[in-house]
Amino acid sequence: MRFSVVNLGCKVNAYECEGVARQLEEAGFERVDWEEPAEITVIFTCAVTNTAAAKSRKMIHRARRKHPEGIVAVAGCYAQIDPDALEDADILVGSRHKPFLAEYIQTAIRKKERIVDVTDLSDVRFEPLPVDHFSGRTRAFLKIQDGCNQFCSYCVIPYARGKERSMEPDMVIDEANKIAMTHKEIVLAGIHTGRYGKEYGITLADLIKRLLEEVNGLKRLRISSIEITELDDPFVELFAKEKRIARHLHIPLQSGSDVILKRMGRPYSSADYYNKLCEIRAKAGEFSVSTDLMTGFPGETEASFEETLAFLKKCEFSFLHVFPFSARNGTKAAMMDDQIDVSVRRKRAKTCIALSEELYDAYKDSMIGKPVEVLMENETQGHTSEYLEVTMDQPYEPSSIVPAIITERKGHALYAEGSDEA
């Protein structure tokens, strides 16, 4: 039987989605693209915003229309927090039992019955879903941490993912060694990647040292996202000296206004954020910094929004991930006074997206003439360690890492040529 997989969420979702795909392949199922006919469709949903939740529902409906006699199996954050909204699914699995999804699919085929397994997350443990390679990707994700204890006022993830927990260190090394046999870059993923290892008495920096020492063939290690409060001295020192760690950090900000940061429940001030960023740049030299930003949070005045714009420019981010505030049921922010009109949220988001393009072009211009290493996605395009997409001057072997010099920017596109040194 054939199956397709669809991931509508983050890198953690992507890892889990691939893990389920591996289980199904080992059980004898054939993986096909979404557009091809399939008896089984596996959908990993997202619930971080109302838009993400709506996309998840639409994808389930599309799968049902496309394969009316097929099985639609659904997991991911939306399945955990609002299973009643996904009654069209034949199989619905919450965050605790994703490792059993492939088994449930086989049971549903055999017994022709609907299966729902969404349970409480109060005592959930780290759920291993081993992945040895990622189909069609030059970089691989490795989920080393899950869950969140922070409970920011706008966020449903602690309810969807449960408490913080980490993969056992030796298991991380074992999985990384398998992945590195086919992928030169591994992206460490987690809900709070920087809080890895607390239950084992180690830090993210400790784990990275082991990965760099013990994983054969690992050429580049990337951190998917890390909070400013998680960038401790051992990590910064390692990042500064070890060039195999990608020269890009994604550090969520959400707002540049201290009033809004406090209402969000974020554990830092704008000064804390900026000072730490300056400290890392002073120690590590040039690297790319991107961030998450939310517009139109309850109470965000024009003055606080302008404050945010000024702060974004001050930080000199390379690019921004921008989201208008989305009121999620059950969160504190959804019940706050001073809700901002949706049109204003979206208008401010557009302003920030335009600023992101300006910042990104400025960062690209700053890299012209500089040596980089390009991981080739196909024969002519790839990504640098700084997470810049470039087009090369001639074909190269896909998945190879090519020393290059960035030569020019045309529009938003960067171009580079191969070099003997990088």
First and final C-alpha spacing in the chain: 47
Cα 2 to Cα 239: distance, rounded to the nearest angstrom: 43
Q: CA torsion sign, 53 to 58 to 61 to 63?
A: negative
Identical fold for domains 2-117 and 139-367, yes or no, is no
- Rounded mean pLDDT, 61-81: 91
Which one, of 307, 152, 317, lies nearest residue 229 by Cα?
Answer: 152
Element holding 91 (H helix, E strand) = strand 91-93
Query: What are the Cα distances from residue 288, in Å, to 69, 181, 294, 317?
Result: 48, 28, 20, 7
Question: pLDDT tens digits for 365-398?
Answer: 999 999 999 999 999 999 999 999 999 999 999 9
Residues in the chain: 422
421 pLDDT band, cuts 50/70/90, is low
Cα 165 to Cα 201: distance, rounded to the nearest angstrom: 12
pLDDT of residue 131: 87
Question: pLDDT tens digits for 156-196?
Answer: 999 999 999 999 999 999 999 999 999 999 999 999 999 99
Neighbours of 150 (CB within 10 A): 16
Tokens (6 digits) for 324: 């208008």
137 pLDDT band, cuts 50/70/90, is confident
pLDDT of residue 261: 98
- Rounded mean pLDDT, 125-135: 85
213 pLDDT band, cuts 50/70/90, is very high
Cα 295 to Cα 308: distance, rounded to the nearest angstrom: 9
Cα 129 to Cα 127: distance, rounded to the nearest angstrom: 6
Which one, of 168, 345, 341, lies nearest residue 255 by Cα?
Answer: 345
CATH for 139-367, options being 3.40.50.11810, 3.40.50.720, 3.80.30.20, 3.20.20.70 = 3.80.30.20
pLDDT of residue 176: 96
Please state which CATH class domain 2-117 belongs to: alpha beta
Across the chain, mean pLDDT equals 95
Residue labelled with tokens 């639409």: 58
Amino acid present at 68:
P
- Rounded mean pLDDT, 25-40: 93
- Tell whether the model's pLDDT for residue 413 goes beyond 60: yes
Q: Domains of the chain: which residue ranges?
A: 2-117, 139-367, 371-418
- Tell whether the model's pLDDT for residue 42 goes beyond 80: yes
* Secondary structure in 3-state letters for 221-233: EEECCCCHHHCCH
Burial of 87 by CB count in 10 Å (0-12 exposed, 13-18 middle, 19+ buried)? exposed
- Tell whether the model's pLDDT for residue 422 goes beyond 60: no
- Tell whether the model's pLDDT for residue 136 goes beyond 80: no
Burial of 313 by CB count in 10 Å (0-12 exposed, 13-18 middle, 19+ buried)? middle
